[in-house]
Amino acid sequence: MLTRATVIAWLVLLSAPVLADPPAPRQQELVNLVRQDCGSCHGMTLQGGLGPPLTAAALSGKPAEYLRGVILDGRAGTPMPPWRPFVSESEVRWMVDMLKRGAINDR
Amino acid sequence: MTAKVIAACRHRGIALCLIYAVLLAGCASTRGTGDLGVVIERAAGSVLIVETSAHKRLAQISGLGDLSHASVVYSRDERYAYVFGRDGGLTQVDLLRQQIVKRIVQAGNSIGGAISQDGRLVAVSNYTPGGVKVFDAHTLALVADIPALYGNSGQRSKVVGLVDAPEHRFVFALYDAGEIWVADMKDAQKPIVQKFKQVGDQPYDALITPDGRYYIAGLFGEDGLALLDLWHLDAGVKRILPGYGRGTRKMPVYKMPHLEGWAVAGDDIFIPAVGRSQVLVVDQRDWQEVGRIAVHGQPVFVMARPDGRQVWVNFAFPNNDTVQVIDVATRTIVKTITPGKTVLHMEFTPRGEQVWVSVRDADRVNVYDTNDFAMVASLPAAKPSGIFFTARAHKIGL
């Protein structure tokens, strides 16, 4: 039997745009996160540092799904930490798309 | 003086007026540099020249390239700052004329540098291509190139933890290779390199003690540090604090900790644990752990006040709005302050009565009294990161 709470939960889930971009202010926060905090290992202009470069050219051979997994869960055996506590899966989808298009540095 | 110039202009004619004006300009520009410093504005590719006595910005100098993770060393006359940029840029800045003297781009990706004991050589540690390049401090002409080759297939390692050491040496660590190299620069064009291999997994940074004797590399890939006694190279590299995590699970590290010689207070060296919210204390007489202090997050900079009575600590994302102060005598935290979002660096005035703190996302540099912790000044700066005062000129390893 459906309780009122589960009905409401389903309605909320169904009405949420699944692949929508994050709202504009959050996009700015995410760009800042990539440039400044990812940048502390990958370079502020993403040309690389202790971590590898994250330019469009450097990422071109890597599937988006793999990159999303690396950001969310980190890479064992390397200093890359999991960012899951700070970003949602849909936000990571947007970040990877931006990175692969080389669009972070334009923002 | 100004009144004299005006009087001269009125009564003595143009020539004397000009002489007085030149004298006036000369007077205004005569000053020492011992209370000056540089603040990196990382996003704008500019630096501020600041004066610590009056908490003043004297000038902003732009055109220094990508300054994310920039650092600075000083000429021994404390007049010139050498700024090492992420993009391989090496820029010599004149603090008195407030302008760039020379600028070269010497590699694709760099992490820091050092100046030699005699002030004649500036060395840069590079990630791409991995190695160390050594330049004439006066002309910035290349003097020596030391590629960080390792293994059998011509691979080059990223180089970290480059410091100057007594007896005309530079010491550095190879992140990818797990090695420490000591370069003897007595004949600057032909460095003699002694290599220490298998020192540990992923050395990420290093320090040299203020007396210039011990080189200590922090390891990211394992719990422990690699110690080299520069008085006794034959004894090789020793492991200290092995397994300090005692098998417990590491937390993720969202920003690499940094090691510098300022972590030494008396016989104790204060070291950031990797993947733990702890500062480790090592007694440098026997290299045993003598304490550990629970702190607010992953420590990044762990810096002793110049007199060694306090140690100030800042933290990695997401705890980077906070600074904690450890009392060395009791090894307890005596103060927690929250300067603002993203504290990146701290620098003590030469004798430590004040500390300058860069708060990146607030676009401010705050100055605190280290005795009562009151904020005594705050200066605007665009996304400030490293702060470097000229007193570093006369410190081994800085």
| Contact residues, chain B, for A44 at CB < 8 Å | 42-43, 66, 68, 86
What stretches of B80-189 adopt beta strand conformation (E)?
A: 80-84, 89-94, 99-105, 109-115, 121-128, 131-136, 142-147, 149-150, 155-156, 159-165, 169-174, 179-184
Given pLDDT bands bounded at 50, 70 and 90, which one contains residue B20? low
pLDDT at A8 over 60: no
- Over pLDDT 90: what percentage of chain B? 87
**B9: exposed, middle or buried (C-beta count within 10 Å: 0-12, 13-18, 19+)?**
middle
Exposure letters B155-168 (e unless 16+ CB within 10 A, then b): ebbbbbbbbbbeeb
Given pLDDT bands bounded at 50, 70 and 90, which one contains residue A4? low
Query: Residue B66 and residue A43: Cβ atoms within 8 Å?
Result: yes
- Would you identify the CATH topology of the domain B256-337? Thrombin, subunit H (2.40.10)
Choose among B42, B175, B383: nearest Cβ to A50. Answer: B175
pLDDT digits (tens, 9 = 90+) for A59-79: 999 999 999 999 999 999 899
Mean pLDDT of B181-198: 97
Q: Please, what is the average pLDDT of chain A?
A: 87
Domains identified in chain A and CATH numbers: 20-106 (1.10.760.10)
Given pLDDT bands bounded at 50, 70 and 90, which one contains residue A18? low
pLDDT at B251 over 90: yes
Query: Residue B42 and residue A82: Cβ atoms within 8 Å?
Result: no
Query: Residue B220 and residue A79: Cβ atoms within 8 Å?
Result: yes
Q: Please, what is the average pLDDT of chain B?
A: 93
Given pLDDT bands bounded at 50, 70 and 90, which one contains residue B265? confident
- Which chain A residue has the Cα nearest residue B44? A44
What does the domain layout of chain B look like in residue ranges? 1-30, 256-337
The distance of B317 to chain A (nearest Cα, Å) reads 8
- B86 touching A (Cβ < 8 Å): yes
CA distance B311 to B44: 31
Say what the pLDDT of residue B175 is: 97
Dihedral angle at the C-alpha atoms of B345, B351, B353, B357, nearest 10 degrees? -10
Say what the pLDDT of residue B5 is: 47
Look at B6 and B299; give whichever has higher pLDDT.
Answer: B299
Given pLDDT bands bounded at 50, 70 and 90, which one contains residue A3? low
Query: Residue A37 and residue B317: Cβ atoms within 8 Å?
Result: yes
Exposure letters B305-316 (e unless 16+ CB within 10 A, then b): bbebebbbbbbb
Query: Residue B111 and residue A49: Cβ atoms within 8 Å?
Result: yes
pLDDT digits (tens, 9 = 90+) for A24-48: 999 999 999 999 899 989 988 899 9
Tokens for B350, please give them: 């030469």
Q: What part of A 54-93 touches B (C-beta under 8 Å)?
A: 74, 79, 81-82, 86
| Contact residues, chain A, for B175 at CB < 8 Å | 50
Say what the pLDDT of residue B26 is: 46
Low-confidence winner among A10-14, A46-50, B46-50, B70-74 (lowest mean pLDDT)? A10-14
pLDDT digits (tens, 9 = 90+) for B115-165: 999 999 999 999 999 999 999 999 999 999 999 999 999 999 999 999 999
- B348 touching A (Cβ < 8 Å): no
Given pLDDT bands bounded at 50, 70 and 90, which one contains residue B27? very low
- Over pLDDT 90: what percentage of chain A? 70
Say what the pLDDT of residue B245 is: 84
Query: Residue B318 and residue A74: Cβ atoms within 8 Å?
Result: no
User: Tokens 């306090």 belong to which residue?
Assistant: B310
Look at B185 and B260; give whichever has higher pLDDT.
Answer: B185
Query: Residue A79 and residue B111: Cβ atoms within 8 Å?
Result: no
ipTM of the complex as predicted = 0.82
Choose among B128, B204, B253: nearest Cβ to A48. Answer: B128
Look at B51 and B30; give whichever has higher pLDDT.
Answer: B51
Say what the pLDDT of residue B19 is: 53
Choose among B87, B108, B252: nearest Cβ to A82. Answer: B252
| Phi, then psi, of A9 in degrees rounded to 5 | -60, -45
**3-class DSSP state for residue B352?**
coil
pLDDT digits (tens, 9 = 90+) for B299-349: 999 999 999 999 999 999 999 999 999 999 999 999 999 999 999 999 999
| Contact residues, chain A, for B109 at CB < 8 Å | 43, 47-49
- B202 touching A (Cβ < 8 Å): yes
- Over pLDDT 70: what percentage of chain B? 93
